[in-house]
Structure 1
Amino acid sequence: MDMNISGSLTEVLPIEDQSQVGHARRTTQKLAQQHGFDETDAGRVALVTTELASNLLKHAGHGELHLRVLPRAQSCGIEILAVDRGPGFDVQTALTDGFSTGGTQGIGLGAISRMADVFDVQADPRGSVVLARFYPRGDSTPDLALGVSQHSLHNDPACGDSWHLVLHPQGFNALVIDGLGHGVEAEQAARAGEAAFARASCSAPAILMDDLHQAMLGTRGGAAGFAQYRAGDQGGHLSFTGIGNISASLVTAERSRGLASHPGIVGAQYRKAKAFDYPHVQGHLLIMHSDGLQSRWNLQHYPGLVYRHPAVIATVLYRDFCRGRDDVTVLVVALENRHE
């Protein structure tokens, strides 16, 4: 059965003084309880939040917690990312029991890594990003190798970017739309296209792009790009179709390959919507983003980042390459043999 995951904004909690640590703990604990976590599991989320937020103050001086609810077939998970621009730290040392990156008697990253269902970290002189994901007990569904960082300009409730992911037994289909401009009218354009994609994401690319176009007529229109990935014995196959300035790349440790798009505006005018095919891509990363992110990033400039969880990769790219003058969406998916 197909599973639709609708786009949503990343919730950002600034951590600049001690009072915000308590607020962050209460926020994540309540979020966990609202999504089916029992008292014990919600307590795990709260304890890890406290340590991550405290370490931001002690280790980096300030930072942010990025929160996201993770829809799953039978439940929801909670994602917490601690983000800073501090001096970095030695990850292996920090994972040693009894060591706190802030130099205090905190529970430490080693304990956090055991309390979280999914844990990962990237630290270098540019700063650090620590990921902790939590799922309710009894949910044995594998973690989805997906990362999304989406933010509206000036924290506006309306976001002109939209993203959508459809999981199916053979693979997945992923969409990023950037409505022209920002604010409510841009959001209306993007959401219209997203709704059309959700209804027929497995259609032939030219037909699917026309569906988006028809749905976005009468709106501001925008740029749209979608990827259709099929896992299998042939090493995985991906097709990408784009109109406008949605960027997409296939990335490995050795190289990054940009995926071609066509000029135009979906919902206004474009000449053609040809899909470009990329065989044998299993093991690659698919990275898609709106033009709120600078295009000059290179994962090879971050030792080891290509091997990190997609949520860490998306957050590092947002932290270091957000233009700061538009809505921004970064979507990263590991192209695996099968996405549950």
Structure 2
Amino acid sequence: MDNIVFFTYKIDDRSYVSFIKREIHNLVTAAGFSPQKVGEIDIIVSELTSNLIKFAETGELLYRVANDDKGTFLEIYCLDKGKGIRNLSRMMQDGISSSDTLGQGLGAIERLSSRSSIFTVPDSGTVVYSKIYQKEPDAVIRQSNIFFGAVQVCAPGETVCGDGYSMKKLGNGIQFFMGDGLGHGINAHEAVTEAIASFTSCRATSPVEVLRYIHENVKKTRGLVATIAYLDYTAQKWYMCGIGNISTSLYTGLVPKNYTPYNGIVGHNIPRTLNDSVMEFEKYQTLIMHSDGLRARWNLSELPGILKYEPNVISAALYKDNARHNDDMTVFAAKINL
């Protein structure tokens, strides 16, 4: 989990399209993508932006180059709050169009992407996701019970993000971190970066102990708010503790269990008494954590079918509908399939 932020562009006029296409073209060329891959990416970006202008008139494009265990990739989200796609399966077929064009856009995006998804709600908008690897990974099926994804965007005018997230396997379980440095900019970024380093090195399983450890190690920084969630496979329980306004929800189907954190600032003043909250683990749960760059009053029931999608699409849909656009914005989701 690399915390590489997304570039973001609001698109409300066709004049922006050529600029964005050139920016992404130059980015992937500099990252070492082959000419063939760059050409395929050009097509994907062209289809995304032209469909956005044509059908929704305005929206937002998020993109970044990052790395995972399969290699270097370009990741793109195209977000809008338009009319949605009424019959998605039909519109994915080549030759089908609602605007008297060739109707190859959505199908081309799917074919040229290493991974792609489309989530759409009539009269509420659409999330289109595309991931393109620099070199296609070997077709080896890797069994995993944890799937995660995140969207992270800097506050307007900033080049570094004061939010951060991390995940690590620990003992017979897995531990998650979400933090938000006070304010935004370089000082907030330094605080959350130090917190992530402390989280990574700490071997305590109790979220309370991890937070106390982080607290001692970030005292020279601006400070932050943070929440730790630990899933113990053996005990079949979640343990959570947080200080400050990180929003944390655990979904079993559409039924949420919301965690309420303590007041305070990690690195400055934390309560003397902290206790881990305990929640029962259930199969096929989804953990969602986000900073206060997103509005906290949302309900997944307003996004029908969203839990069938990958965590990165869940994160993008929540960002689309709830981003404040006046602070750093990070939303993280993990699906637990045990």
TM-score range, shorter chain: 0.7 to 0.9
Which amino acid counterpart does residue 98 of structure 1 have in structure 2? Answer: G
Q: Which amino acid in structure 2 is aligned with residue 80 of structure 1?
A: I
1:228 to 2:230 alignment: yes
The separation in 1 between residues aligned to 2:68 and 2:194, in whole angstroms, is 24
Match of 2:314 in 1: 313
Match of 2:243 in 1: 243
Secondary structure of 2:152 counterpart: strand
**What is the number of equivalent residue pairs in this alignment?**
331
Cα separation, 2, equivalents of 1:78 and 1:101: 29
Deviations 1:287-321 (A, max 9, x none): 00112211110000121122222222212211211
What's the counterpart of residue 263 of structure 1?
263
Matched with 1:117 is 114
- Higher mean C-alpha displacement, 70-79 vs 242-251: 70-79
How far has the Cα of 1:225 moved from its partner? 0.8
Counterpart pick for 1:129 among 116, 127, 130: 127
Structure 2: distance between partners of 1:165 and 1:312 = 19
Residue 12 of structure 2 corresponds to: 16
Distance across 1 between alignment mates of 2:33 and 2:204: 34
Distance 1:201 1:123, change over 3 A: farther
Deviations 1:71-104 (A, max 9, x none): 2124122211111121111222221221246542
Give the aligned partner of residue 104 of structure 2: 107
Tell me, in whole angstroms, the C-alpha distance in 1 between the residues paired with 2:84 and 2:97: 13
Q: Distance in 2 between matches of 1:237 and 1:28?
A: 43
Deviates more, 1:182-191 or 1:198-207: 198-207
| TM-fit CA distance, 1:248 | 0.6
Q: 1:10 offset after TM fit, Å?
A: 1.8
TM normalised by structure 2 equals 0.87
Q: Is the 8 A contact 1:161 1:290 kept in 2?
A: yes
Cα contact 1:166–1:201 (8 A) shared by 2:
no
Q: CA deviation at 1:215?
A: 1.7
Q: In the alignment, what sits opposite 1:58?
A: 54
Q: Distance in 2 between matches of 1:59 and 1:104?
A: 12
How far has the Cα of 1:224 moved from its partner?
0.4
Relative to structure 1, the CA distance from residue 231 to residue 279 in structure 2 (aligned partners, 3 Å threshold; closer, same or farther) is: same
What is residue 299 of structure 2 aligned with on the other side? 298
Range moving further from structure 2, 134-143 or 60-69: 134-143
Q: Using a 3 Å threshold, how does the CA distance of structure 1 residues 92 and 240 change in structure 2: closer, same or farther?
A: same
- Of the structure 1 ranges 79-88 and 186-195, higher mean CA displacement relative to structure 2 is found in 186-195
Of the three residues 199, 205, 208, the one matched with 1:206 is: 208
- Determine if contact 1:152/1:326 at 8 Å carries over to the other structure: yes
In structure 1, what is the Cα distance between the partners aligned to 2:99 and 2:197?
Answer: 45
Q: Work out whether 1:97 is the aligned partner of 2:63.
A: no
Deviations 1:215-273 (Å, cap 9, x if unpaired)? 210222121012233557x8x64332211111111113331111242222110121244
Q: 1:167 to 1:59 in 2, by over 3 A?
A: farther
Matches within 5 A, 1:66-215: 66-90=62-86, 91-100=88-97, 103-124=100-121, 125-135=123-133, 136-140=135-139, 145-166=147-168, 172-200=174-202, 203-215=205-217
Q: Is the 8 A contact 2:70 2:137 kept in 1?
A: no
Offset, 1:33: 4.2
> Matches of 2:117 and 2:307 in 1, distance apart?
12
Q: Aligned-pair distance for 1:61?
A: 1.1
Instruction: Compute the displacement of 1:159 (Å).
Output: 2.6
Q: Distance in 2 between matches of 1:263 and 1:307?
A: 34
- Which residue pairs with 1:285 in the alignment? 286
Write the letter of the residue equivalent to 1:132: S
> Cα RMSD between the aligned structures?
2.6
When the two structures are superposed, what TM-score results if normalisation uses the length of structure 1? Answer: 0.87
Q: Decide whether the 8 Å contact of 1:35 with 1:75 is kept in 2.
A: no
AA partner of residue 214 (structure 2): L
User: Quick check: 1:145–1:333 contact (8 Å CA) kept in 2?
Assistant: yes
CA distance in 2, matches of 1:77, 1:278: 36
Residues 139 and 78 (structure 1), Cα distance of their counterparts in 2 relative to 1, 3 Å cut: farther
